[in-house]
Amino acid sequence: MTSTPISGEQRRLQILDYLCERESSSVDELASQFAVSRMTIHRDLEQLVAMQCVRKTHGGVTILPSVVFDSNFNYRGRRHQEEKRALARHVSELIEPGMTLIIDDSSTTGALIEFLPLRKPLTVITNAARVVTSMIRREELTVICLGGQYDVVMDAFLGIDCELALARLRADLGIFSTAGVRNGSAYLHQGDLTRTKIAMKAAVERSFLLFDHSKFGKSALHLFGQLKEFDRVFTTEGADANEINRLRNDGVPIEVVPMQADTPSKGEEIRDE
């Protein structure tokens, strides 16, 4: 019995996971590991280079530093999908019809795309290209796309024009995520991204921060803010219980979302398109 062939995209994701564990590999090793030709591996690596995930070397490949690699939307969006969906489902139930939302460009908040139509009518303000393209044709969803320069790595609009637009807007609720959480603070990799999210947070009445448990213990170059500065903080099962208790004792309004909360609701038909 032969195994079902995987798509090129699935193979490239598997190559990334393989390189995460080993940091580097040769073309021959990858061809043997994934049972494809050297030419196929070369094509895969060219696409991963274009995504700014890896760097080709003589006869092989090396994964880029985590600052660049972890910020790539195409890769981030495929990791911890079940946890992101559980967070999105839980938080969506706290959104009331008629609200104006600001949603950042993270893959975690991007999981809300599936659930927002269930809470319509809504106005959604975002810099995330994927949210815009997924929402603009939905009835009773008004989408405001923030300006700025398009960043292909983040799949988002960033920069001074985006920040200036935010200065003239106001929303009921802002929903954000972060690259890392350490010592009660949230961190991000890129300066432009950090300035944009800070401007977003300044434009909302209330703010939620969502992140899966793998973000604990990770840090990055730029401080987004202290967790206690958000009205509600959500993470997933798997985080160290002592860390959760320390944060709560420090005044952080953190909640642990159980994975069983992601059980499909009866009669639900909305899916990400």
Task: Average the pLDDT over each of 2-6, 169-173, 265-269 and give the range with the smallest value.
Answer: 265-269
Give the DSSP per-residue string, 6-72: PPHHHHHHHHHHHHHHHSEEEHHHHHHHHT--HHHHHHHHHHHHHTTSEEEETTEEEEPPHHHHTT-
- Identify the burial level of 39 via C-beta atoms within 10 angstroms of its C-beta, where 0-12 means exposed, 13-18 middle and 19 or more buried: exposed
Q: What is the mean pLDDT of residues 225-239?
A: 95
**Parts of the chain belonging to CATH 3.40.50.1360:** 80-262
Residue-wise pLDDT for 109-127, tens only, equals 999 999 999 999 999 999 9
Say which CATH class 80-262 falls into: alpha beta
Contact of 235 with 259, CB cutoff 8 Å? no
**Domain span(s) for CATH 1.10.10.10 in the chain:** 8-64
Indicate whether 16 pLDDT > 90: no
Helices (H), the chain: 8-22, 27-34, 38-50, 66-69, 73-76, 81-92, 107-110, 129-135, 160-166, 191-202, 241-249
Average pLDDT of every residue of the chain: 85
| pLDDT tens per residue across span 31-89 | 999 999 999 999 999 988 887 778 888 888 987 754 444 555 555 555 667 899 999 99
More confident residue, 27 or 78: 27
To the question of domain 8-64 being in CATH 3.40.50.11890, the answer is no
Check residue 197 and give its pLDDT.
96
Cα–Cα distance measured from residue 101 to residue 104, given in angstroms and rounded to the nearest whole number: 10
pLDDT score at 50: 81
pTM to 2 decimal places: 0.72
